[in-house]
Amino acid sequence: MCGIIGHAGRADRTLDVLLAGLEGLEYRGYDSAGVALANGDLDVCKREGEIEMLQRAVDPGLGGPVGIGHTRWSTHGPPSDANAHPHTDCSGDVAVVHNGIIENYDELKAKLREAGHEFDSDTDTEVVPHLIEDALAGGASPEEAFRSAVARLEGSYALAAVFAGSEALLATRSGSPLVLGVGDDAAYLASDVPAFLEYTDRVVYLEDGEFARLESGTWSVTDASGARLDKSVSRVEWDAEETAKSGYDHYMLKEIHEQPRALRKCLRGRVDELTGTVNVEALEGLEADAVQFVACGTSYHAALYGAQTLRAAGVRAQAFLASEYATSPPPISDGTLVVGITQSGETADTLAALRRAKGRGVETLALTNVVGSTAARECDRTLFIRAGPEIGVAATKTFSSQVVAANLLSASLAERGDAREVVEALRDLPGQVQEILDSSRAEEVADRFVDSDGYFFIGRGYHHPVALEGALKMKEITYRHAEGFPAGELKHGPLALVTDRTPVFAVVTGDGEEATKTVGNVKEVEARDAPVVAVTDGASEVERYADEVLSIPETHPRVAPVLANVQLQLVAYYVAAELGRSIDKPRNLAKSVTVE
């Protein structure tokens, strides 16, 4: 859940690269930051708070041919200067940064203390430089000492280390991502590509158990035994401009407005409008008697939607929270496909669930945004959503693209359904999203209800996941209480919370049975003096009972949720903006959750 950046190259550039890389990783969530540069001696500076605090504290004259930086999201010990990374050994000759959790750190720490080592932090990470120090004292080289320390660790980790008197940066991973950047005269290391994308678009993805060595623009990768590996160099399709704000006040607003383009990219070359068919190379020959989706957070809401589309087409399908699936998996049979939905492809709970499924002998599919991610590499198949980089912690364009990709999966697996009508609706979707972005009244609605005590979101059928997602967005970036419910469940308890200070956002499209019943639920809310905001295509009479209306174009029932969700994203954004929240970096949250 934290960020790592490393550089090996010109000594006068290292500090600038590290600080810029840390800024490029801010979206992952953090509460402290630090750097370590090796140039004969080892210079370490770290501070609690935002990167600006580190920039003020660090000596701008620091240099060195290698260096590492880190943004920390607290797991062991509260945010503080002492708990910030990098962590060092007793002598100050080894500095280490770490993402993940070392599960046996208590045992290791006790043994190290018995041997005379002193600790300055509450973190699990601090045992690593002391383990390295022990091995160095026994005559090991830096690389031998690093490998020796790693061999004693249990848990998940991405680790990088630099040493006084050495121009090498050493790194390894197990269950937490690391990627190398290959420049013309420098080599880079990071937990995610945006950290070094302004310097190079050539990357090498590390696998679990592999070790990297970076020195003055050169790099090598070896396995656990030390044997050199022939790793391929890939090119990242993103460019640095895609990870900039481009004139928007926040990344989240930029990414909401990028949805038409993201959806076009998701669909390009995958649907045939003339025949009404879907042709996705990654899904060719795919068959499944049943589908189990595993996901977390926003991706779980996309999974709920995906399971519903498959059930409607006659395929047995269920959605599970990945954290529950990993520890208490449901019964599984031959012919089951397990689909992991994860924006980053690095979500620890989702990876654990996919590995659990793979261990049970069934086929796995990653539905993800990131080429080269762990999920993409480990699953049998991968369906990329092609949304481009998403920097804001609160997912927006990736949710819309996940929903569209779920439709592609459904059409590929299902033997019956209304594929032609869905394909036609998907063709029109990007333009309809743009229409909403150009005309939405979300800012006015947000202004009216910004001081509410809480917010409720209701919907039926395909709109139930949208109600959950609308509530999650409101919670994530406004810090206000919000809940989403199936519309019919409101009267089974939650209605007790409804007052004239709790607006209810009702998603109602079409004029069928679901719409009619949801209108009935809206009447129940209205009778209790709660303000109603209808998100609707105007096909029902819900406007008659609404205090505010957020309109969406008419479309196929399976596509309407994407349009409704855009309106709810905008409402959450404008409420948060008026409250002055940290929209792109909500408190306590991270973009990529790499701990279980």
72, 88, 197 from 95: Cα distances, Å: 15, 5, 25
Q: Would you state the pLDDT for residue 127?
A: 96
| Residue 178 forms part of a structural domain | yes
Residue 595 lies in a domain: no
Residue type, 244: A
Q: Which helix (H) or strand (E) holds 57?
A: helix 51-57
Any domain includes 596: no
| Biggest alpha carbon–alpha carbon distance for the chain | 81
pLDDT for residue 591: 65
Specify whether the CB–CB gap between 374 and 351 falls below 8 A.
Answer: yes
pLDDT for residue 100: 87
**Do residues 32 and 181 both lie within one domain?**
yes
The verdict on residue 435 lying in a domain is no
Per-residue confidence (pLDDT) for residue 478, from 0 to 100: 97
DSSP class per residue in 293-329? EEE-HHHHHHHHHHHHHHHHTT-EEEEEEHHHHHHSP
Checking phi first, is residue 538 left (phi over 0); if not, alpha (psi -120 to 50) or beta?
left
* Number of domains into which the chain is organized: 3
Do residues 279 and 216 share a domain? no
Residue 455 lies in a domain: yes
What CATH number corresponds to the domain at position 341?
Answer: 3.40.50.10490
259 with 219, same domain? no
Residues 258 and 232 in one domain: no
Report the pLDDT value the prediction gives residue 592, as an integer from 0 to 100.
Answer: 62
Residues of the chain with pLDDT under 50: none
Could you say which of 214, 242, 270 is where a domain stops? 242
Does residue 425 sit in the same domain as residue 478? Answer: no
pLDDT at 90: 95
Helix H or strand E segment including 576: helix 560-579
Number of residues that this document lists for the chain: 596
Do 214 and 278 fall into the same domain? no
- The answer to whether residues 130 and 177 belong to one domain is yes
Active site residue 591: yes
- Give the DSSP letter of residue 231: P
- The answer to whether residue 569 is domain-embedded is yes
Residue 561: give the domain boundaries. 440-584
Residues 214 and 266 in one domain: no
CATH number of the domain where residue 24 is located:
3.60.20.10
Residue pair 288/413 in contact (Cβ under 8 Å)? The answer is yes
Answer yes or no: do 89 and 233 share one domain.
yes
2 labelled catalytic: yes
Establish if 32 belongs to a structural domain. Answer: yes
pTM for this predicted structure: 0.79
Nearest to 282 by CA among 363, 170, 395: 363
If asked whether residues 375 and 258 sit together in one domain, one would say: yes
How are the residues of the chain apportioned to helix, strand and coil, as percentages rounded to the nearest 5? 40, 25, 40
pLDDT, averaged across the chain: 92
Same domain, 482 and 462: yes
Q: Three-class SS of residue 589? A: coil
Identify the pLDDT of residue 241. 62
Same-domain check for residues 235 and 258: no
The tokens for 386 are 């092609």
Domain boundary among 242, 264, 291: 242
Q: What is the pLDDT of residue 111?
A: 95
Last residue of a domain, one of 242, 273, 293: 242
Q: Please, are residues 291 and 283 in contact by the beta-carbon 8 Å criterion?
A: no
Q: Tell me, yes or no, whether 284 lies in a domain.
A: yes
